[in-house]
Amino acid sequence: MKSKRWTLAALAAFVFAGSLVATASAIPSQCLECYTKYQACVANGGSDCAARHTLCLKRYLCPL
């Protein structure tokens, strides 16, 4: 019975780690896209670039 619990715990840990890796690999590209959009907004003379940039970063849980 104990070995069944350990096997289940190991499987759960493996699935959890896999989901973290999948999520972590998706975040940087979205954050990079926020910075690219911000730079384009500033280059075009946009008025609310900083606010839109902050919202984009918060949406994808990027570091501010």
**Tens digit of each residue's pLDDT (9 = 90 or more) over 37-55:** 999 999 999 889 999 999 9
- Size (the chain), residues: 64
Residues 8 and 2: their CA atoms lie apart, in Å, by 10
Determine, yes or no, domain membership for 64: no
pLDDT given for residue 59 in this prediction = 94
pLDDT given for residue 6 in this prediction = 60
pLDDT given for residue 44 in this prediction = 95
Domain with 6, as residue range(s), is 2-59
pLDDT given for residue 7 in this prediction = 64
Count of domains in the chain? Answer: 1
pLDDT given for residue 28 in this prediction = 79
Residues 44 and 38: their CA atoms lie apart, in Å, by 10
Crossing angle (nearest 10°) for helices 2-43 and 49-59: 170
pLDDT given for residue 63 in this prediction = 83
Which residues of the chain have a pLDDT value below 70? 1-27
